[in-house]
Structure 1
Amino acid sequence: MTPMPSPLTVAEPYLIQQDWQAYTPEQHAVWAELVSRRMPQLHEHACEEYLDGFQQIGLREDSIPDLAEVNRRLGPRTGWNATPVSGFLPPDAFFEMLGARKFPTTTWLRSRDSLEYTPEPDIFHDVFGHVPMHAHPVFADFLQHYGRVCFGLMHDKEKLEKMGRLFWFTVEFGVIRQKGKIRLYGSGLISSHGESSHLINSFKNGGAKSGAGPEIRDFNLDQVMHQQFLVSEMQKVLYAVESFDQIYEAAQEAERRLAD
C-alpha cells in the first residue's frame, strides 16, 4: 500500500478554522430544528453505537457543535478528529485525511428554506450524521483503513469506484441488524428524514416487494462492490451487516482482492 504522507500535505490547503462565535442565533435555531426533527425517529431506529456516540462526544440539540469541544471528547476515545475544511475535497485529500483519522468537516449550515435537503454536505450532515459513529472503536478502525486503502488506489479509477460503493453502502447508507431489527448507522440515513422514512415506512407496508421502500439484502462484498446507485434518487437497495467487525473485515478483504 502507498505510504500515507505526513503531515497532511495534500489536504493542507483545504484546512480552515471554525469560528464558532460567528454563528447567529438563527443558525443555532436552525440546528435545533434539524435535530428535533430527527431525534424521535433515531431514538427508535438508529443503532446503539450511534446513540451512544452522540452522547459521548457531547452533541447538543440546541446549538451548533463547537468542533474543538467535540474533539476534546472524541480524541481520547478513538483518536479521531472532526477537522474543519473549506468544502468539497478532491479524492486524494479526502482519503489522506481519513487515513490520518481526521474527518473533513464543513462548517456552514443550511438555511431554513433548505431544511429537508441540501445537495452539498453541511455541518449537520457531517457532524450529526457522521461523527457519533467515530466514537466506536471498530468503526473508527474501519474508516481509517478504508482511507488508507483508497489513497493507495488513486492511480486506478475502476478499483476506486468499487471502493466508493463500499463507502456508499456502509458509511453513507449502512444498516445493521440488532436485536432482530434493522437499525440505521449510515449518515445519509441518520441525517435525512426523507431517506430514513422511506426505509422505516417500508417496514410497515410490506417492504420493497410492495414498492414501499428499499430492498434489504444481507451484506455481501461482491454485490456491494458492483451495486450501481444514483445519488439523486431514494435508495432502492440497502445491505444489512450483523456487526461492525463485518465491515472492517470487508475493507480488509477488498484491499486483498484489489491488490491482485
Structure 2
Amino acid sequence: MAVILEQTSGLRVAQPFLIEQDWAGYTAEQHGVWGELVARRMPQLRNHACAEYLDGFEQIGLSETALPDLGAVSARLGPRTGWASTPVSGFLPGDAFFEMLAARRFPTTTWLRSREAMDYTPEPDIFHDVFGHVPMHAHPVFADFLQHYGQVCANLIDRPEALERLGRLFWFTVEFGLIRQAGEIKVYGSGLISSHGECTRVLAGGCEVREFELDAVLGQEFDTGAMQPVLYAVESFEQIYEAAKEAEGKVG
C-alpha cells in the first residue's frame, strides 16, 4: 500500500480512477494466456524491436510466463527514470490521462484479454499497456519525452483542436512509432510491439514509411480501427523529445 500511495500522491483529477492490482487473483489460465502472447511476440521483436525496448524489457523484469506485478515493475522502473506503472480502472478522460503522464505515472489497466481475443482487443489491456508500453519508460530520453508530452497536453485541456493535433504526435510515436537503427527499420510503438498482425504487415512493407517531420505528423489523420497506411520513422528518441517541445509552440 505504501508503494501505491507514493506513486499516486499529488494526483487530483485521476484519483477516482486509481485502483489496486489484485495480482494474486489472476488465474492459471490468465497467466497461460500472457505466456502465449509473449511467446508469440518475442521471436519477432528480438530481431525487429529497437534496442531500447529490448533493454527495457529486461530492466523492468517482465516475465515471459506470468502476468506482471505492477508494484514490482514500478520498483525497478522508478530508480531508472522516475516512472511508475500505476493501476487504473479502465479508460481515462483526457485531463486525468495527461495529469498522470505529467507526473510520470503511466495509467495501466489490470484486466487481460481472453484466449478467444488474443489476436485483437479494441480496448487496451495489461498486455498492451505493460508489454507494449512500459519497457520504453526505462529509457531516459523517451521517459522525458512522454512526461513533457503530458505536461503540454494538460495545459491545453480546454482546447480540443490543439489536443487533436497533439494526439497525432502520440499516435505516430508512442503507439505506432518506428526508428532507424543500424540501417534498419525497428519498431518501438506499443501498437506494433503488442500486435503480431500489424507489426508483421509493417515489417513486410505493407504500409508507407515516411521520414518523421513534425508538421506532416500533426496534419496526418488516422483511423484507430484500421491498419495504418502511413507511419513515420525517426532517427533518434531525442528527435521526438525535441518534436514535443516544438509542437507546444505550434499548437499552444
TM-score normalized with structure 2 length: 0.96
CA drift of 1:201 comes to 1.7
The reply to whether residue 235 of structure 1 matches residue 238 of structure 2 is: no
CA drift of 1:19 comes to 0.6
- Superposed, 1:8-27 pairs within 5 Å as 8-27=11-30
The reply to whether residue 140 of structure 1 matches residue 143 of structure 2 is: yes
Counterpart of 1:210 in structure 2 is: none
- 1:152-211 alpha-carbon deviations (Å, 9 max, x no partner): 111111110000000000000000000000000000000000110111122xxxxxxxxx
SS of the equivalent of 1:182 reads: strand
Distance in 2 between residues matched to 1:16 and 1:144, nearest whole Å: 22
- Superposed, 1:1-260 pairs within 5 Å as 7-202=10-205, 213-259=206-252
Structure 2 segments unaligned to the other structure (5+ residues): 1-8
CA drift of 1:110 comes to 0.3
- 1:205-240 alpha-carbon deviations (Å, 9 max, x no partner): xxxxxxxx1100000000000001111110000000
**Which AA in structure 2 matches 1:27?**
Q
- 1:97-120 alpha-carbon deviations (Å, 9 max, x no partner): 000000000000000000000011
Distance in 2 between residues matched to 1:256 and 1:235, nearest whole Å: 27
- 1:109-132 alpha-carbon deviations (Å, 9 max, x no partner): 000000000011000000000000
Distance in 1 between residues matched to 2:147 and 2:223, nearest whole Å: 25
Distance in 2 between residues matched to 1:249 and 1:90, nearest whole Å: 26
Distance in 2 between residues matched to 1:191 and 1:54, nearest whole Å: 13
**Which AA in structure 1 matches 2:197?**
G
Distance in 1 between residues matched to 2:13 and 2:34, nearest whole Å: 31
CA drift of 1:33 comes to 0.2
**Which AA in structure 2 matches 1:232?**
G
Distance in 2 between residues matched to 1:70 and 1:159, nearest whole Å: 33
SS of the equivalent of 1:233 reads: coil
Distance in 2 between residues matched to 1:227 and 1:256, nearest whole Å: 18
Distance in 1 between residues matched to 2:143 and 2:64, nearest whole Å: 24
**Which AA in structure 2 matches 1:138?**
V
Distance in 2 between residues matched to 1:75 and 1:130, nearest whole Å: 15
Distance in 1 between residues matched to 2:99 and 2:224, nearest whole Å: 24
SS of the equivalent of 2:107 reads: strand
TM-score normalized with structure 1 length: 0.93
Distance in 2 between residues matched to 1:132 and 1:60, nearest whole Å: 12
**Which AA in structure 2 matches 1:139?**
F
Structure 1 consecutive aligned stretches of length 4 or more whose deviation exceeds 2 Å: none
Identity among equivalent positions (%) equals: 70
CA drift of 1:7 comes to 1.3
Structure 1 segments unaligned to the other structure (5+ residues): 1-5, 203-212
**Which AA in structure 1 matches 2:221?**
Q
Distance in 1 between residues matched to 2:203 and 2:145, nearest whole Å: 26
- Tell me how many residue pairs correspond in the alignment: 244
> Aligned-pair RMSD on alpha carbons?
0.7
Distance in 2 between residues matched to 1:201 and 1:113, nearest whole Å: 26
